[in-house]
Amino acid sequence: MAEYSKSDARDWAREKLVGVANVTVPTMTSDFTALNEKAIRHDVEKAIEHGFIGSLACSEVNMSMAEYQRMCELMVDQAAGRMITVHHAAFNSLEESIEGMKVAEAAGAELVLLCYPPYFYPKSLEDVYTYTKTLCDATNLGVMLFPVPSWGFQRLHPSDIPVPMLRRLLDDCPNIVAIKAEGGMPHIMAAIEVHRAFHKEVVISLPIEYDFVPLAQVIDVPFCGTNYSAYFGSWLPDVHKLIRAGKFDEATAEWYRIDAARKAVGSVPMTSNGMINRMMWKYHGWLQGYNGGPMRGPTARVYAKDMAPLRKGLELAGLTPTSDPDEDFFLGRNPA
């Protein structure tokens, strides 16, 4: 149960969403029949150790609703108030998405990242409004809106969800507390417009590190998440602290320092037609001490040709990846 009500959800978000949030991808047992609970707890502890203030309970993988609920329960229990568990509202339909929000809320998740199903094909922006408001009305949790090209809304507007539509949603849904501003990527126009229009009302997140670090030096961006930054270990939470302290020269030097790692991420295929390679994200984290290990198929794959540049990029950036051989990634650090 959230510690806030709908009426004060935005105040809660303003206080709590200051920092960086990564993503926890669930690990299965070696026979793929159940969650590996020890592995999930391990990843929560590692995220807290690295300074993340929240983590997304990734639902965009092959598991049942009951397994997803258990994953949320494990994350909330292990975090014990030290980190926010973010519900990943990425399911097959509106009805299933509402069910997912209910089980996540019951499990103790504190924030919703609102996504849209692959078979949601809105004919107009009004359809986007209706879907979004219906989900927001169905939960007491704070909701983070997520304009991004992955949903296919650019055929309706280049910003994915334009400011006038966001304005209506904020006015009509008091539990919208944040906007993950990736609309119109790779361009930053929509993100800047969203910040200009709404940053005094809700928390704006710029979740991509190569945008966040420079832009947060000139505009107030308290939150950076959810994202794949487990790949960088504690680097992004540390740089976030530099920026909040006004140490911009140091933050800029850090941005340049890890350029090899940034380019390594960009050199391997991480997304395709709106689907993120979550196995790749597990390998990202495994290089920095997270569990790695089995995911239930079907899943995209990670090949040696991808692993080599990702490991080398961290080495060149001075971010010290694990010395464990890549073959160990497929077993995980807590096999069960």
The string of pLDDT tens digits covering residues 52-91 is 999 999 999 999 999 999 999 999 999 999 999 999 999 9
Q: What SS3 string covers 103-161?
A: HHHHHCCCEEEECCCCCCCCCCHHHHHHHHHHHHHCCCCEEEECCCHHHCHHHCCCCCC
pLDDT of 1 strictly over 80: no
Please tell me the distance from the alpha carbon of residue 57 to that of residue 23, in angstroms, as a whole number.
Answer: 7
pLDDT of 278 strictly over 90: yes
Please tell me the distance from the alpha carbon of residue 56 to that of residue 72, in angstroms, as a whole number.
Answer: 9
What is the chain's mean pLDDT, rounded?
97
Q: How many Cα atoms are found within 13 Å in the side-chain-facing hemisphere of 30? A: 9
pLDDT band for 2, please (50, 70, 90 cuts).
confident
The residue to which tokens 């510690």 are assigned: 3
Quote the DSSP letter at residue 271.
Answer: E
CB-based contacts of 20, cutoff 8 Å, min separation 6: 51, 52, 53, 54, 223, 224, 225, 227, 229, 236, 237, 240
The string of pLDDT tens digits covering residues 286-316 is 999 999 999 999 999 999 999 999 999 999 9
Strands (E) in the chain, as ranges, are 19-24, 54-57, 84-89, 111-114, 142-145, 176-180, 203-205, 223-225, 271-272, 275-276
pTM, rounded to two decimals: 0.97
- Looking at 3.40.50.300, 3.40.1280.10, 3.40.50.150, 3.20.20.70, the CATH number of the domain 6-245 comes to 3.20.20.70
Q: How far is CA 40 from CA 37, 210, 211, in A?
A: 5, 28, 29
Q: Residues 306, 282: contact at Cβ < 8 Å? A: no
Kindly state the average pLDDT of the residues 322-336: 98
Q: Residues 288, 18: contact at Cβ < 8 Å? A: no
Find, among 47, 115, 118, 105, the residue nearest to 78 by Cα. Answer: 47
pLDDT of 273 strictly over 90: no
Radius of gyration of the chain (CA): 19
Find, among 185, 171, 115, 121, the residue nearest to 145 by Cα. Answer: 115
What type of residue sits at position 125? L
Domain boundaries, the chain: 6-245
The string of pLDDT tens digits covering residues 193-208 is 999 999 999 999 999 9
Residue 59 token pair: 């639902």
Go through the chain and tell me how many residues it has.
336
Residue 336 token pair: 């069960």
Residue 306 token pair: 């991808």
pLDDT of 103 strictly over 80: yes
pLDDT band for 275, please (50, 70, 90 cuts).
confident
Strands (E) in 219-330, as ranges, are 223-225, 271-272, 275-276
pLDDT of 188 strictly over 90: yes
